[in-house]
Chains A and B, each alone.
Chain A
Amino acid sequence: MTVDNQELSAYLPLFIEESKEYIQQISDNLLRLEREARDAEAINEVFRAVHTLKGMAATMGYSEISQLAHEAENLLDEIRHNSIEISPAMITGFFHVVDEFENQVGHLVETGEPLPMPRQKIEEIRAFLSRPVREEVSPQEGEGEEIEGEEPDTPEGQDAPAEPSPPGAYKLEVFFTSDCLLPQARALIVCNQLASVGTLLSTNPSQEDLPDLAALDKLQCWVRDIRPDQVRALLEGGVEIDYYTIELAEDEESPPAADSPAQDPGAEVPDPADSRHEAQVFRPSIRVDTEKLDQLLNLVSELVINKTALQQGAAAYPPLTEGVEHLHRLTSELQSIVMKMRMIPLETVFNRFPRMIRDTAMSLNKLVNFEIEGAETELDRTIIDDIADPLVHLLRNAIDHGIEPVEQRLQKGKPRTGTVSLKAYQTGNQVIIEVSDDGRGLDLGHIQSKARELRLFTGLEADQAELQNLIFTPGFSTAENVTDLSGRGVGLDVVKNSIESLGGAIEVLSQPDAGAMFRISLPLTLAIIQGLLVKCGAEHYAVPLTYVEETGFFYSDEIRTIGQQEIIMLRGKVLPLVFLSKLLGAEEAEPGELSLVVVRYGQGQVGIVVDDLVAQQDIVIKNLNWGERFFRSFLGCSILGDGSVVMILDISVILSGLKLRGVINE
């Protein structure tokens, strides 16, 4: 039942996407089983997902995946039928299979080819999967179960003997497609075909009953004197046969008595198509190529730019005002719908964490309970793609350095099992993600001494929050395990950088022995933002409005200096100043009236001095995707209504650069 090669490649993207969903389902449910071994529904879910994956892989001709799935399915089926409690060893075994699935699919994504799997590896996994059960299970057979569950098996399976001599009896199950018009007739044909090659011992439903049945989707046959490959030759590609399974009938398994009740049609037999529908939350939706979404966004961006140009033009020509106003509303609406289309739930990233947490905790010998909240929170696709790595880093840190070993926890009077939680929610046009643990918290003493060593503050007492946030300073955490929150060679400064490059921010809150919380705030979208256009010499720059706290004017003679730092007094408070022209090497402003953009910076504020404030408007961010390192001071650039390009300042980057040079001393 394989599709030919040309058709295959057309299905590959779909296969990959769906496989990923099923692999995720398997993984999720294994984790459920790990918590509650008797969760029958979880076993069924795993079984269904594995089964569907097997069917899909077989159709695509990926025998590696289907064989693997087949082995897992066999064990699962035994577990299901015999109500075996699933052991941790089995779960680990299944996770091996999941890893292997992921490898395979990963290879498909990269090369379009399945990863050849050595026979040995399959044997290993088979051994791994079969061992735990065989020991504790006495095989028991019963008709009821036979009917309930399918026991699919491919002819290549373990039971197919290599030698051609016809061995004992085989049990064969044939499933008919749902659109099969007369399955009863098909079943009779199958019976006749089998009888023509070998000996047909018995069938269920019996051949006599077949014509009278109202419906039928599965036929069980017991045959002998026939080889699996002969069966395959008969059934493969058979019209209206969905799939079939064949296995050695065990000695004690005798064909059911002829009068066994005909099965209730369609009641219990899981159809692969059905299980697929069940597994997905049903929502009327269509899959759209992400490239098309990007194109759509580009077009809308162009539209926004042109609308802005038109708005500026229409200001001088009143008859146009109403039409332009209408256009403005339509564009805004269109823009918000396109933005919403690009939003995907954080779930897609969060999903893979439970498994990672489990593995990390196990390898460190710690007990960790992992909680996820708000996985349904949505973010722009481009941000989702880049948020995973920083989160992995923070979560690992939380387990590695936050959560104490069990003995220590007990000594401190904490519960044995530590809790790591991941929480996401939206406030305004920001999404907040919090990674917290109930571990030991940051060691302020260490941070303080390290900060002195690095001369990060000069004599002044830094408050607790400022101290804690020093752990994001480059070079702070790598040397030795100073903050107890690093130690993997990659510091938290990398986390901070990647978050900031997404236009977000990160801070840490910690209480000794109560735990630490990292709070990440991210913009909902990166594509179109509100920006403030400023003039600096002859050049224009855009400042994202999210940074701007207020704007104002002042005269150059109001500038004072403290040490080497220029400041002004704003409502009685000291406001350190930064001259944009100096930062960017632009022409310096003439003395006189200057404009001020007050931006949030760490716990305080900084005043950015510019020549003039031009306008506040929608800004479409265009990425350069090229040589990002020297465009680092910029979030990207944008095209204005007049066609000129304006650079969008990344305030956090240009200010953090300053701090290192010691321009701002807080």
Chain B
Amino acid sequence: MNRQFVVFPLADELYGIDIQQVMRIEKMLPLTRVPNAPPFVIGVCNLRGRVVPVIDLKRRLALPSRPNENAKIIISSIGSKVVGMTIDSTVDVSTIQTEEIEPSPALVTGIDTQFIQGVAKLSNRLLIILDVERILSVDQLNVLNDMG
């Protein structure tokens, strides 16, 4: 079976999100800051009449992040939640055989393994497949929020 992924670089690695979890990809939208939100929630935006929270994916994954005017927003929907995630630059769509996806090795990437669904080889590079549900999980956010 084939799965399709939206593939994009973050820091030095290549990341992928299952295309079924991606509603659309937008250019950076004007954001309104949400006071007292966790640092990776960078604001809310108006997505065609719908207010959507936007998180900085790099900060969420604890990767170094700095402002970037070429940033794009992946709009993702999980259940009834619609959330935007900022990424650095252009994206690609790649098809990967399900059996080529392996469970994530414990210490390969430097990002929290709970956010990783698995890894796969993509033209000699390692593709890290993100678990969007975990990334957007309110419980997770709350835990982090409580801690910090």
A interface with B by C-beta (< 8 Å): 298, 302, 305, 539, 583-586, 622, 624-631, 633-634, 637-639, 643-647
Tell me which of B44-52, B86-94, B104-112 binds A: B44-52
A521 to chain B, nearest CB (A): 27
Determine the distance from Cα of A647 to Cα of B46 in the docked complex, in whole angstroms. 12
B144 to chain A, nearest CB (A): 10
Question: Is B34 close to A, CB under 8 A?
Answer: yes
Taking A645-B32, A647-B44 as given, write out 10 further A-B residue pairs in contact, using a Cβ cutoff of 8 Å, ordered by the A residue number.
A584-B36, A585-B35, A622-B51, A625-B81, A626-B81, A627-B145, A634-B34, A637-B44, A639-B46, A644-B32
Determine the distance from Cα of A631 to Cα of B52 in the docked complex, in whole angstroms. 13
Determine the distance from Cα of A626 to Cα of B49 in the docked complex, in whole angstroms. 17
Question: Is B30 close to A, CB under 8 A?
Answer: yes
- With a cutoff of 8 Å between Cβ atoms, the chain B residues found around residue A298 in the complex are 49
Question: Is B68 close to A, CB under 8 A?
Answer: no
Interface centre among A585, A626, A644 (most CB of B within 10 A): A626
- B46 interface neighbour in A539, A626, A629, A643, Cβ under 8 Å: A643
Query: Is A624 in contact with B53, judged by CB distance below 8 angstroms?
Result: yes
- A631 interface neighbour in B37, B45, B80, Cβ under 8 Å: B37
Q: Given A626-B138, A639-B51, are A644 and B35 neighbors across the interface (CB < 8 Å)?
A: no
- B141 interface neighbour in A627, A633, A638, A645, Cβ under 8 Å: A627
Q: List 27 A-B contacts (CB under 8 A).
A: A539-B32, A539-B33, A583-B35, A584-B36, A585-B35, A585-B36, A625-B80, A626-B81, A626-B138, A627-B53, A627-B141, A627-B145, A628-B138, A630-B37, A630-B145, A631-B34, A633-B35, A633-B36, A634-B34, A637-B32, A637-B51, A639-B46, A639-B51, A645-B45, A645-B46, A646-B32, A647-B34
CB nearest to A633 among chain B residues: B36
Q: Given A629-B145, A630-B37, A633-B35, are A624 and B44 neighbors across the interface (CB < 8 Å)?
A: yes
B137 to chain A, nearest CB (A): 9
CB nearest to A299 among chain B residues: B49
Query: Is A630 in contact with B44, judged by CB distance below 8 angstroms?
Result: no
Determine the distance from Cα of A64 to Cα of B44 in the docked complex, in whole angstroms. 50
- With a cutoff of 8 Å between Cβ atoms, the chain A residues found around residue B35 in the complex are 583-586, 633, 647
- With a cutoff of 8 Å between Cβ atoms, the chain A residues found around residue B46 in the complex are 639, 643-645
Question: Is B142 close to A, CB under 8 A?
Answer: yes
Question: Is B119 close to A, CB under 8 A?
Answer: no
Determine the distance from Cα of A583 to Cα of B45 in the docked complex, in whole angstroms. 22
- With a cutoff of 8 Å between Cβ atoms, the chain A residues found around residue B34 in the complex are 630-631, 634, 647
Interface centre among B30, B46, B81 (most CB of A within 10 A): B46
- With a cutoff of 8 Å between Cβ atoms, the chain A residues found around residue B53 in the complex are 624, 626-627
Determine the distance from Cα of A228 to Cα of B53 in the docked complex, in whole angstroms. 65
CB nearest to B51 among chain A residues: A622
Determine the distance from Cα of A630 to Cα of B53 in the docked complex, in whole angstroms. 12
> Sorted from nearest, which 10 A-B pairs have the closest CB atoms?
A584-B35, A645-B32, A622-B51, A627-B138, A630-B37, A627-B141, A645-B44, A637-B51, A645-B46, A626-B81
- With a cutoff of 8 Å between Cβ atoms, the chain B residues found around residue A644 in the complex are 30, 32, 46
A425 to chain B, nearest CB (A): 34
- With a cutoff of 8 Å between Cβ atoms, the chain B residues found around residue A630 in the complex are 34, 36-38, 41, 141-142, 145
Q: Given A633-B35, A633-B36, are A645 and B41 neighbors across the interface (CB < 8 Å)?
A: no
Question: Is B7 close to A, CB under 8 A?
Answer: no
- With a cutoff of 8 Å between Cβ atoms, the chain A residues found around residue B132 in the complex are none
Question: Is B83 close to A, CB under 8 A?
Answer: yes
- With a cutoff of 8 Å between Cβ atoms, the chain B residues found around residue A638 in the complex are 51
B interface with A by C-beta (< 8 Å): 30, 32-38, 41, 44-46, 49-51, 53, 80-81, 83, 138, 141-142, 145
A587 to chain B, nearest CB (A): 11
Q: Given A629-B145, A630-B36, A644-B30, are A624 and B51 neighbors across the interface (CB < 8 Å)?
A: yes
A298 to chain B, nearest CB (A): 8
Query: Is A626 in contact with B145, judged by CB distance below 8 angstroms?
Result: no
- With a cutoff of 8 Å between Cβ atoms, the chain B residues found around residue A628 in the complex are 138
Interface centre among B37, B44, B51, B141 (most CB of A within 10 A): B51
Determine the distance from Cα of A585 to Cα of B35 in the docked complex, in whole angstroms. 7
- With a cutoff of 8 Å between Cβ atoms, the chain A residues found around residue B38 in the complex are 630
- With a cutoff of 8 Å between Cβ atoms, the chain A residues found around residue B44 in the complex are 624, 637, 645, 647
Determine the distance from Cα of A298 to Cα of B49 in the docked complex, in whole angstroms. 9
Determine the distance from Cα of A630 to Cα of B46 in the docked complex, in whole angstroms. 19
Q: Given A645-B45, A645-B46, are A626 and B36 neighbors across the interface (CB < 8 Å)?
A: no
- With a cutoff of 8 Å between Cβ atoms, the chain A residues found around residue B36 in the complex are 584-585, 630, 633
B76 to chain A, nearest CB (A): 12
CB nearest to B37 among chain A residues: A630
Determine the distance from Cα of A638 to Cα of B46 in the docked complex, in whole angstroms. 9
CB nearest to B31 among chain A residues: A645
A603 to chain B, nearest CB (A): 27
- With a cutoff of 8 Å between Cβ atoms, the chain B residues found around residue A634 in the complex are 34
Determine the distance from Cα of A628 to Cα of B34 in the docked complex, in whole angstroms. 12
CB nearest to A583 among chain B residues: B35
- With a cutoff of 8 Å between Cβ atoms, the chain A residues found around residue B51 in the complex are 622, 624, 637-639, 645
B3 to chain A, nearest CB (A): 26
Query: Is B37 in contact with A639, judged by CB distance below 8 angstroms?
Result: no
Determine the distance from Cα of A631 to Cα of B44 in the docked complex, in whole angstroms. 11
B57 to chain A, nearest CB (A): 16
Query: Is B142 in contact with A629, judged by CB distance below 8 angstroms?
Result: yes
Query: Is A647 in contact with B138, judged by CB distance below 8 angstroms?
Result: no
A128 to chain B, nearest CB (A): 43
